[in-house]
Structure 1
C-alpha cells in the first residue's frame, strides 16, 4: 500500500495547491536559468554567426562588443594584402533611436560590407538580403517593422526589404542591417548646432557638410573581419597585422571571452545569485511543507508503530510524499514555463541539460525535506497514540 498516495487522495485539493506552490517557485528558477542562457545567446549571436577568424579593431581597444572602437578607413585594404588572408569585411554596430508610425523605437544598426558579406550567416524569414545599392535595410521582427516599411535614419529614408527573427544584441534590441556606407552616414550625421561647433573648432567660415563632426574621428568602421586561408598560419598572420601598431587583433574566442567575462560578468553573476536564492527558498518551503505534513500525522504514525509497523514504513511514506510534491511541482513548472516564457520580451532558452540538472537539484531538495520529516517521525513513540 502506498501510504503517501492514499494521503494525497484523502486531501487532493491541499496536495494540488501545495504542488502548484512549489511549481511556481520552480518556474521562477527555470525562468532565471533560461534568462541567463538567453542573455548569453543574444550576446554571442553576432560573434558566433558572422564567420570571422580574426577581428581587427582599434589599437589598445577590446573591440566593438566591449568598448568603442574605430579603425582607419583603409585598414581593410591593408589587411587584404597580408599573406594568408582569404577575404576581409568591414563591420560597424551602434544603437539608434528613430521615429516610426508616431512612436520612438530603438534598434541596433549593424553595418555589413555588401557585397563582400552575402548575408549567408543570417536566417531570413521573409524578403531578401541587401542588394548592392543603398537605402535598404533588413530588420529583425522584434523591431516591429515589416516588409515594405520605410523608416527615416539620419534624414535618409530606408526601405525594409527583409526580416529576421531572433537577431538581437546583448541588450535585447533588434538588429537593423544596412550596408556599411549607409551605417557610416547614419553614425556621422550631426545636428546643425554640432556643425556650427565644428566650424568654430576648425576656424572655418565656409559651408560645413552635414556629416562634419566635432568628434576627432576619421572613421566609423568599428572592426575589420578577417577570414583566413585554410592553410594559413593564424599566429603569423595575426602577428603581421598587430605590428602596425594602430590596430589590435582578436580571435573569435577572445571576443567571446571579453563579452561574457567583461561586459556581461556582473549581469550573469546577478542572475545566478538570484537563481541560487530562489533554490534556497524552494528548499526551505518544501522542507516546511513536509515537516508540517508529518506533524499533522503524528497520531497516525504512533498508531502505525503500535500495530507493529517498522520505521522504514514510516520513512517510506514521508519520502514518497516529498517525491510526489517535487515531481508534481516539476511537471507543472515545465508546463507553465512553456506557456508563459514565449511571451516574455527577452529570449528565455530552456535547455534539456538545464532541466535535467534542475530535476537533480530538486531530488536533493526533496531528499533533505524528507530527512527533516523522518527525523521528527522517528521520535514518535507508540504509546503516544493514547495521549
Structure 2
C-alpha cells in the first residue's frame, strides 16, 4: 500500500492548492532566469550574427555597445590597406523616436554598409533585403511597423521592404535596418535653431581646440573587420593600434565587456531574487508538510502501534514532499510556456537552466521533508489512546 498517495487523495484539495502555489513560485523563478538569458541574448544578437572578426572603435574606448564610440569617416579605408584584411564595413546604431500616423514609435536604427552589406545576415519573415542605397528599411514587428509602410525618418520617407523577428537591442527596442549613409543622415538631422547656433559658434569649437581626428558630428561607431583565413590577428591588431586614434576589440572582447561589466549587476540582482524565491518555496513546502504531519499524528501513532518501521513513515512524508515539488514544477513549467511568449521582453527558457531548477527543487523538497520527519519520529505509539 502506498501511504503517500492515499494520504494525498484524502487531502486532494490542499495538495492541489499547495502545488499551485509552488507552481507560481517556479514560474517566477523561471521568468527571472529567462529574463536575464533573454537580455544577454538580445545584447549579443548583433555581435553573434553580424560576422565580424574585429571591431575597430574609437581610441581609448570600448564601444560601441559598452560605451559610446565615434571614429573618423575614413577609418574603413585605412583598415582596408592592412595585410590580412578581407573585408571592412562601417557600423552605425542610434536610438530614434519618431511619429507614425498618430503614434510615437521607437527603434534602434542600425546601418548596413550597402552595397557590401545588404542585410543577408538578418533573418526575414517577409519581404526582401535592401536593394537600393537609400530610403529602404528592414523592420522588426516590435517597432509597430508592417511590410510596405512608409515612415518619416529625419527629412526623408522610408519604405519597409522586409520584416524580421526577434531582432532587438539590449534595451528591448526593435531594430530598424537602413543603409549606413541613411542612418547617418537620420542621426545628423538638426533643427534650424541648432544650425544657427552652430554657425554662430564656428571658430570657437572644442573640436578645433582639442585637435581631435574625429569630427564632432561623426556618427560612425565602428569599423567591422573580416580577416582572411590565413591572417595573423595579432599582427592586424598591432598595425591598427599604432595609429593612436583607434582601439581594436575581438568578438570575445565585446562579449566579455557586455556580460562581465555592463550586465554584471543585473546578473547578481536576478540571481539574488531567484535565491529569495527558492527560499520562500522551501519555507512553503516545509510548513505544508509539517501541518500535514501534525494532522496525521493519530495515524502515525497507530502505524507505530502495529509495528510499522520508521522507514515506512519517513518514506510517506518524503514522498508527499516530492510529489508536491514535482506537481508544482511541472505546472510551473507549463505556465511558463503559456505565459512568457506574451511578455514584452524576450524570456529564454534554457534546458540547462530548467534542469538546474529541477535539481534545486529536489534538494528543497528533501530539506523541507526533514521538518515533518523530525516531528513524526517523535510521535509515540501511546498517543493513539489520546
User: What is the 5 A alignment of 1:1-387?
Assistant: 1-202=1-202, 217-387=216-386
Alpha-carbon shift at residue 9 of structure 1 (Å): 1.0
Partner Cα separation in structure 1 for residue 132 and residue 240 of structure 2 = 29
Contact 1:86-1:229 at 8 Å conserved across structures: yes
Aligned equivalents of 1:291, 1:231: Cα separation in 2 = 67
**Over the residues paired in the alignment, what is the CA RMSD in angstroms?**
1.3
Shift of 1:216: 5.8
Q: Deviations over 1:80-107 (max 9, x none)?
A: 0000000000001011001112111110
Distance 2:40 2:364 in 1: 28
Aligned residues: 377
How far apart, CA to CA, are the structure 2 residues paired with 1:351 and 1:261? 20
| Contact 1:73–1:218 under 8 Å retained in 2 | no
TM-score (norm 2): 0.96
Task: Please tell me whether the aligned partners of residues 97 and 105 of structure 2 are also in contact (alpha carbons under 8 angstroms).
Answer: yes
Q: Report the Cα offset of residue 13 of structure 1.
A: 1.6
For structure 1, the 5+ residue unaligned runs are: 205-214
Give structure 1 regions of 4+ aligned residues with deviation exceeding 2 angstroms: none
Contact 2:129 2:162 in 1 (8 A): yes
Structure 2: distance between partners of 1:312 and 1:72:
76
Q: The residue matched to 1:202 in structure 2 has which SS?
A: coil
Instruction: Give the secondary structure class of the aligned counterpart of 2:201.
Output: helix
- 8 Å contact from structure 1 (residues 140, 166) kept in 2: yes
Contact 1:72 1:218 in 2 (8 A): no
CA drift of 1:133 comes to 2.2
CA deviations on 1:94-153 (whole Å, 9 max, x unpaired) are 110011121111100001101111322211000011123201110011111111101111
Deviation string for 1:213-250 (max 9, x for gaps)? xx961421000000000000000011001110000000
3-state SS of 2:158 partner: strand
